[in-house]
Homo-oligomer: A and B are copies of this chain.
Amino acid sequence: MPAPKRRRGRPRAGESDARERILAAAIDEFGELGYDGATMRGIAARAGVDSALVHHHFGTKADLFGETIGAPMRPDIALPDILAGPRNEVGERIVRYILETWEQPEVRRRGVALLRTAIGNKLTTPLLAGFLSRELLSRIALALDVADAELRASLVASQVAGLLIARYVLRLPALTEASVDELVVRVAPSVQRFLYD
């Protein structure tokens, strides 16, 4: 990948620091303005970098949105650990990890904003779907190693997405009032069954 031509406005920033700041800025920009309203220039300004650096690190606006979707969850980091543990507890570990992550106020705020944007807009929906397929479903399917692995993984995604939407976006009272432990007890068996039964 070619080096960026200019790096104005971030004199003390290392590569990974700039990347993180751009991601955080993108989450705020997409969350506040929606996909159509967000601009690479606006994201660069929030991050205090030149927009060329945003393109250098993340490519197009669509590419960048795809990256921001994963930022609250980081399945690329979490999933290997979750899938490597005892098989009869994978469902429980998936549900607990996701809910405990989303219980962090900053993750929840960003996650809700990105879910709203991704589902609300025809242009961004395929970006969320692509992210799920690439980062989540393919990893789970690989670990399952059965013929219907992608269907099983997609059913898990349907329950997890539905739970996040019902609890954190729709805020259905019985789900917002339930504890993480209670929800793990209720939902984990469904995820476990989708995966292995």
Contact = CB atoms under 8 A, between A and B. Distances in A.
Interface of A: 115-117, 119-122, 125-126, 128-129, 132-133, 137, 150-151, 153-155, 157-163, 165-167, 169-175, 178, 182, 186-187, 189-190, 193-194
By secondary structure, the A interface counts as: helix
B190 A175 contact: no
A132 to B, nearest CB: 7
A98 B93 CA distance: 29
Contacts of A169: 119, 125
A158 B99 CA distance: 14
A132 B133 CA distance: 29
A166 B154 contact: yes
A89 to B, nearest CB: 18
Contact of A189 (B159, B163, B193): B193
A123 to B, nearest CB: 11
